[in-house]
Amino acid sequence: MHKYLVFTLSILLLFALPLKAEQVTLQASESHVQGQARYLDNGREQPAILILHGFSATHNYPTVQALQDYFTLSGFTTLAPTLSLQIPLRSQPVQCNSLHTHTLQQDIIEVKAWINWLEQQGHNQIILIGHSSGSQTLLEAMIPQTPESIKALILTSLFYLNGEELGNLESEIQIAQNLLAQGNNAPRKFNFLFCQNDYFATPESYLSYLTITRARVLETINLLSVPSYSLMGSADSRYSQVGEKWLSELDASQTELSIIEGANHFFTGEHEGLLHDQVESIINKLINK
């Protein structure tokens, strides 16, 4: 655990659900940037659930907020952080052509800080749920050492960030590496995920996320010291890029794979309830072990 992390806590009472939601802020002294999270405290009897959003989104993203509200109503304490992406108290998604200076390593520090914050509130059992790239970030944050409080990872819409099939260009990667080697971290446009030729980032930021390759995700799953569960939609449009062989590769790894038929990347519409049912089934199984 990072002993140099300093936490600043402020609480704004919100009125939603039967519980009062608390808007919690946290600051890691290494970055001097405050992040925020939505916290609903249902006590300490059940494990706390931390839910992390996908690429450039916030804790207000519908997939994340629906999961948090559902499990809060089910009696769990829930925490949904928004990664700062080096923007103080970020509350809006970051666009492709905005300036991206954040790194995967900074995201991991924030995730660990939020876990530590939950532990400081007395939650000694925590279940992590990630959506999309949030799943990848949680995976990376769990190696080489998983905090004792973490009981399991539930990874939804889990893919990876680097591969020619995703639109990454080897020539751009080489340019970014050369610039960084020369001490030049000036931002420029790259191809990255859905930001094709429009991802305005520093070479350091861009390259940090490209460490998450297809092989890396599978390797990290197999290195985990706690159980992991992967929930995928059969109609996710990402398969048009990565191929449905990705599902068989996940199934061959140490994760327990479930496929929700007809669901897209965000589990919208009728599949939202199916996602919640699947996650609840996993959590109940963990609790009753």
pLDDT 10s digit of each residue in the chain, 289 long? Answer: 333 333 333 233 233 455 778 899 987 656 678 999 999 999 999 999 999 999 999 999 999 999 999 999 999 999 999 999 999 999 999 999 999 999 999 999 999 999 999 999 999 999 999 999 999 999 999 999 999 999 999 999 999 999 999 999 999 999 999 999 999 999 999 999 999 999 999 999 999 999 999 999 999 999 999 999 999 999 999 999 999 999 999 999 999 999 999 999 999 999 999 999 999 999 999 998 7
Give how many domains the chain has, as a whole number.
1
Domain annotation covers residue 60: yes
Residue 217 lies inside a defined structural domain of this protein? no
Question: Looking at the domain assignment, is residue 156 inside a domain?
Answer: yes
Q: Let me know: does 140 contact 220? Beta carbons within 8 Å.
A: yes
In a domain, 211, yes or no: no
Does residue 241 fall inside a structural domain?
Answer: yes
CB–CB of 62/276 below 8 Å? Answer: no
State in Å, rounded, how far the first CA of the chain is from the last one. 27
Residue 264: phi and psi, rounded to 5, are -90, -170
My answer on whether omega of the bond before 18 falls inside 30° of 0, hence cis, is no
Residue 192 lies inside a defined structural domain of this protein: no
Answer yes or no: is 21 within a domain. Answer: yes
Specify if 263 maps to a domain.
yes
| Enclosing domain of residue 109 | 13-94+103-161+228-287
What CATH number does residue 23 fall under?
3.40.50.1820
